[in-house]
């Protein structure tokens, strides 16, 4: 039995809702508790844009007049003039900036006249929301730092700093028992994080007249969960390379003559920022970037005669100047890994994997075809990986596999590979799933250590089969996007699935007749309710138009769902998991919520809901109440 969605109760307070009731425009204009703007144009859109522009200028006067930073327009606040701050505000002002920016259409097209107005209380709420956004980014960064997701931490700290610089008033946070301006705290925090990253060469091998250097990265003594790094390949800086679970591989055109491999850590994430709404884009366009030394040289010993290179020490960025605050790294949280059942007799699987490695090195899947089960999907997946994605290559001189039992299969973990596209590469760990016959049933890109640990360390009373099933499902889910397996994605959604997507960019109006809505709070996010057909139609378009779509999962919460008798106990699971979505044209980070029906042989998605990072998370129970999902 599928989930039954009886009805949907949405609290919609859309900023663009037209007021059909009569509004006393004259009274609003005279009331000092309101700010307003008027616009005229041939079309409604033209008139409304003009009204919004006038309203934004009116709102800015309120923000400035209530600011503690009054003074001439030439006063400089940390490199950002008040003119720049006003420019940022006006450029980033959108329908979603204030939740109750009402609209009245005074006369219709073709001589359209539009009146926009908002209460001063909503303007004051906007100021508080901007300060909270900075604080939320800092807290998110701290959580990421504790989880060793260093790229995430740096991104959050840097974006928080940029937004704080653009704010009309200083934004303070607690630090060591006292209040401190974020424009003072954050530069020191960013420098502290970068200075605590250490890196060293693990090994290097030559192939196709290029040198593949494998480096290990640690933070405060622990392997980094994630990090993004640019590097000089001997001619220019390329990247970013996504470091995963402490390891990244870098292709060099020659051995470094100066016995150093130059790296640069990514901390601005500018390209990703412009996809997070008008405000961050306006900030990056108008605020001078923070100059941070994120460059590091990794020392190596080079033997030109033999064409080899070995480690010669650890590379680290020099700590900040004396004027910087003394920032202590966040305490790292490491979970103890659940013990899994190891396979004792692994000779058969190792023999198969030797041939798999040969096939990967040659880029020829047919070399290993005989090791795949003919009635399963494994070989087609392997062939797609090698021939229809980016360039796939093995990482490291030798693979160190572990063989464990799970749900009646033998899982061969991990085959370390790198998948390269134009200027972008991703580190992946492949899992090969063997049937009792010794043949390969399927393969998948493994979850990160953090994501896997969260699943296996969830409620201890869960049966092991449920944990392996959810782990496999999430591995298959992210692999399906990488291999563009539309048929598989279609199979895992219920025909009546409730699918809610979100984007920090406004969607095209009318596309696929989707239903757009908001949750009644200031947000750059547009939520869209879709049915299964609409969702798959858009996904197919993305698969056809984008060179790659890469998903990576990190922190997650899993739990059983009470369906109030609709499904038997223990057959409905929910997972809320952090998803990093990367493509050549759009990237975002948010939390994916899935409600899974576990009654069949394989889980089926009944509800899919995405929320952006930084939004107040909706729990499983809150979602069920809001959408009356049973």
Q: Would you say residue 5 has pLDDT above 80? A: no
Q: Where are the beta strands (DSSP E) in 96-181?
A: 102-107, 112-119, 172-175, 178-181
- pLDDT given at position 207: 83
Judge whether residue 429 has pLDDT over 90: yes
> Are 77 and 51 found together in one domain?
yes
On the question of pLDDT at 269 being above 90, the answer is: yes
CA 595 from chain centre, in angstroms, equals: 20
CA proximity to 520, closest of 100, 122, 136 = 100
Report the alpha-carbon distance of residue 223 to residue 266 in Å, rounded: 17
The bridge status of strand 604-612 relative to strand 493-503 is parallel
DSSP output for 164-194: HHHSSS--EEEETTEEEEHHHHHHHHHHHHH
Contacts of 251-257 with C-beta under 8 Å, sequence gap 24+, read: 251/210, 251/211, 251/212, 251/213, 252/210, 252/211, 252/212, 252/213, 253/210, 253/211, 254/211, 255/211, 255/302, 255/304, 255/307, 255/309, 256/300, 256/302, 256/309, 257/302
Phi-psi category of 79—alpha, beta or left, where left has phi over 0 and alpha has psi -120 to 50? Answer: left
**Residue 469, pLDDT score:** 87
At 339, is the pLDDT very low, low, confident or very high (cuts 50, 70, 90)? confident
Q: What is the pLDDT of residue 93?
A: 59
CATH number at residue 73: 3.10.28.20
Are 419 and 457 in the same domain?
A: no
Most confident of 101-105, 134-138, 204-208, 377-381: 377-381
Average pLDDT over residues 60-80: 59
Q: In angstroms, what CA-CA distances link 503 with 151, 516, 524, 575, 630?
A: 21, 11, 8, 20, 26
Residues 475 and 602 in one domain: yes
Give the domain-ending residue among 95, 125, 155: 125
Query: Angle 617-16-31 (CA atoms, 0-180°, nearest 5)?
Result: 105
pLDDT for 84: 74
SS3 (DSSP) at 30: helix
Least confident among 79-93, 196-210, 439-453:
79-93
Stretch among 187-191, 253-257, 297-301 having the lowest mean pLDDT? 253-257
For residue 71, the model assigns a pLDDT of 42
Q: Is there a single domain that holds both residue 527 and residue 567?
A: yes
Rounded Cα–Cα distance for residues 23 and 30 (Å): 13
Same domain, yes or no: 552 and 627: yes
User: Quick one: 376 exposed, middle or buried, by C-beta within 10 A (0-12, 13-18, 19+)?
Assistant: middle
Using the predicted structure, report yes or no on whether residue 164 has a pLDDT greater than 80. Answer: yes
Give phi and psi for 479, each to the nearest 5.
-65, -35
Judged by DSSP in three states, 219 sits in: strand
My answer on whether 495 and 629 are in the same domain is yes
Q: Are 537 and 571 in contact (CB under 8 A)?
A: no
Q: For 147-158, what is the mean pLDDT?
A: 95
More confident residue, 625 or 198: 198
Give the whole-angstrom CA distance, residue 198 versus residue 177.
Answer: 30
- The whole-chain average pLDDT of the chain stands at 83
Q: Whole domain around residue 32: which residue ranges? A: 25-125
Examine the domain organization and report whether 486 and 604 are in the same domain. yes
Q: Among the three residues 107, 125, 143, which one is the final residue of a domain in this structure?
A: 125
SS3 624: helix
Q: Annotate 448-511 with three-state secondary structure.
A: CHHHHHHHHCCCCCCCHHHHHHHHHHHHHHHHHHHCCCHHHHHHCEEEEEEEEEEECCCCCCCH
Comparing 290 with 157, the larger pLDDT belongs to: 157
Coil, strand or helix at 371? helix
Residue 428 sits in a domain of what CATH number? 3.10.450.50
Residue 95: pLDDT above 50?
no
Name the residue with higher pLDDT: 169 or 201. 201
Residue at a domain's end among 390, 416, 446: 446
565 assigned to some structural domain: yes
Provide long-range contacts, Cβ within 8 A and 24+ apart, for 408-415: 408/436, 409/433, 409/434, 409/435, 409/441, 410/343, 410/349, 410/434, 412/349, 412/353, 413/446, 414/446, 415/353, 415/356, 415/357, 415/360
Average pLDDT over residues 503-509: 48
Is residue 512 predicted with pLDDT exceeding 70? no
Cα–Cα distance between 127 and 168 in angstroms, integer? Answer: 9
Burial class (CB in 10 A: 0-12, 13-18, 19+), 288: exposed
Q: Which residues face 426 on adjacent strands? A: 242, 419
If asked whether residues 470 and 592 sit together in one domain, one would say: yes
In a domain, 381, yes or no: yes
Whether residue 404 lies inside any domain: the answer is: yes
Residue 598 confidence (pLDDT) above 90? no
Residue 524 inside a domain? The answer is yes
The percent of residues in the chain predicted with pLDDT above 90, rounded, is 49
> Does residue 13 surpass a pLDDT of 50?
no
Question: Does some domain include residue 481?
Answer: yes
> Is the CB of residue 317 less than 8 Å from the CB of residue 195?
yes
This prediction has a pTM of: 0.78
Instruction: Count the residues in the chain.
Output: 630
147 SS3 class: coil
Question: Would residue 132 count as lying in a domain?
Answer: no
- Please identify which residue in the block is written with the tokens 């959050």: 156
Which of the listed ranges 317-326, 454-463, 475-484, 491-500 does the model predict with the highest average pLDDT?
475-484
Position 85 confidence tier, pLDDT thresholds 50, 70, 90? confident
Decide: helix, strand or coil at residue 140.
helix
The average pLDDT across 246-261 equals: 92
Residues 542 and 575 in one domain: yes
Residue 288's pLDDT band (boundaries 50, 70, 90)? confident
Q: How confident is the model at residue 169 (pLDDT cuts 50, 70, 90)?
A: confident
Query: How confident is the model at residue 537, as a pLDDT?
Result: 94
How many domains, in total, are found in the chain?
A: 3
Tell whether 369 and 497 lie within a shared domain. no
- pLDDT score of 566 more than 90: no
Does residue 264 belong to any structural domain of this protein?
no
Q: Quick one: 297 exposed, middle or buried, by C-beta within 10 A (0-12, 13-18, 19+)?
A: middle
Q: Which of 127-136, 304-313, 457-466 shows the lowest per-residue confidence on average (mean pLDDT)?
A: 457-466
Of 41-50, 370-379, 394-403, 447-456, highest mean pLDDT: 370-379
Q: What is the mean pLDDT of residues 403-407?
A: 91
Which of 129-138, 192-201, 519-528 has the least mean pLDDT? 519-528
Q: Are residues 429 and 557 in the same domain?
A: no
Residue 3 belongs to some domain of the structure: yes
Nearest Cα neighbor of 507 from 542, 481, 480 is: 542
359 and 479 share one domain: no
pLDDT reading at 77 higher than 70: no
Cα angle vertex 540, ends 536, 542, to 5°?
115
């Amino acid at each position: 039995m599928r989930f039954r969605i009886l009805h949907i109760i949405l609290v919609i307070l859309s900023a663009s809702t037209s007021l059909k009731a009569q509004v006393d425009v004259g009274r609003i204009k005279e009331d000092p508790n309101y700010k307003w703007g008027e616009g005229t144009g041939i079309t409604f859109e033209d008139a409304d844009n003009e009204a919004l522009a006038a309203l934004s200028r009116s709102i800015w006067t309120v923000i400035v007049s209530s600011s503690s930073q009054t003074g001439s327009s030439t006063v400089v606040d940390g490199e950002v003039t008040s003119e720049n701050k006003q420019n940022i505000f006006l450029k980033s002002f959108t329908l979603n900036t204030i939740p109750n920016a009402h609209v009245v259409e005074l006369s219709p097209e073709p001589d359209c006249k539009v009146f926009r107005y908002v209460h001063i209380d909503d303007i004051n709420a906007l100021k508080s929301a901007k300060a909270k956004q900075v604080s939320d980014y800092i807290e998110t960064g701290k959580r990421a730092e504790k989880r060793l997701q260093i790229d995430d931490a740096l991104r959050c700290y840097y974006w928080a700093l940029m937004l704080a610089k653009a704010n009309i008033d200083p934004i303070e946070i607690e630090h060591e028992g006292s209040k401190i301006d974020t424009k003072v705290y954050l530069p020191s925090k960013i420098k502290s994080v970068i200075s605590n990253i250490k890196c060293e060469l693990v090994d290097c091998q030559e192939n196709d007249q290029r040198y593949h250097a494998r480096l290990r990265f640690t933070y405060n003594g622990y392997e980094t969960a994630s990090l993004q790094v640019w590097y000089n390949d001997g001619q220019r800086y390329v990247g970013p390379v996504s470091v995963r679970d402490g390891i990244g591989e870098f292709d060099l055109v020659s051995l470094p003559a100066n016995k150093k491999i130059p790296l640069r850590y990514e901390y601005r994430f500018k390209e990703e920022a412009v996809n997070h709404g008008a405000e961050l884009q306006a900030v990056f366009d108008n605020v001078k970037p923070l100059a941070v030394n994120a460059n590091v040289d990794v020392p190596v010993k080079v033997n030109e005669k033999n064409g080899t290179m070995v480690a010669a020490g650890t590379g680290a960025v020099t700590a900040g100047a004396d004027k910087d605050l003394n920032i202590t790294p966040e305490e790292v949280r490491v979970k103890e890994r659940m013990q899994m059942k190891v396979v004792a007799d692994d000779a058969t699987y190792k023999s198969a994997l030797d041939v798999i490695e040969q096939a990967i090195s040659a880029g020829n899947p047919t070399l290993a075809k005989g090791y795949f089960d003919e009635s399963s999907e494994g070989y087609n997946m392997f062939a797609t990986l090698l021939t229809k994605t980016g360039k796939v290559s093995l990482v490291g001189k030798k693979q160190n596999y572990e063989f464990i039992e799970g749900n009646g299969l033998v899982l061969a973990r991990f085959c370390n590979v790198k998948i390269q596209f134009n200027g972008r590469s991703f580190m992946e760990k492949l899992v090969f799933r063997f049937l009792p016959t010794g043949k390969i049933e399927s393969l998948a890109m493994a979850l990160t250590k953090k994501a896997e640990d969260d699943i296996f360390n969830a409620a201890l009373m869960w049966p092991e089969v449920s944990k392996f099933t959810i782990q496999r499902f999430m591995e298959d889910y992210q692999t399906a996007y990488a291999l563009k397996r539309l048929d598989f994605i279609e199979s895992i959604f219920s025909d009546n699935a409730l699918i809610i997507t979100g984007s920090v960019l406004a969607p095209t109006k009318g596309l696929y007749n989707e239903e757009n809505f908001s949750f009644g709070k200031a947000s750059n996010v547009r939520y869209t309710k879709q049915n299964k057909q609409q969702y798959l139609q858009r996904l197919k378009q993305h698969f056809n138009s984008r060179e790659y779509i890469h998903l990576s999962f990190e922190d997650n919460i899993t739990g059983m769902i009470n369906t109030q008798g609709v499904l038997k106990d223990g057959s409905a699971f929910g997972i809320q998991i952090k998803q990093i979505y990367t493509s050549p044209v759009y990237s975002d980070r948010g939390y994916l919520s899935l409600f899974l029906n576990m009654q069949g042989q394989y889980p089926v998605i009944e509800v899919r809901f995405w929320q952006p990072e930084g939004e107040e998370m909706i729990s499983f129970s809150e979602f069920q109440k809001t959408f009356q999902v049973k």
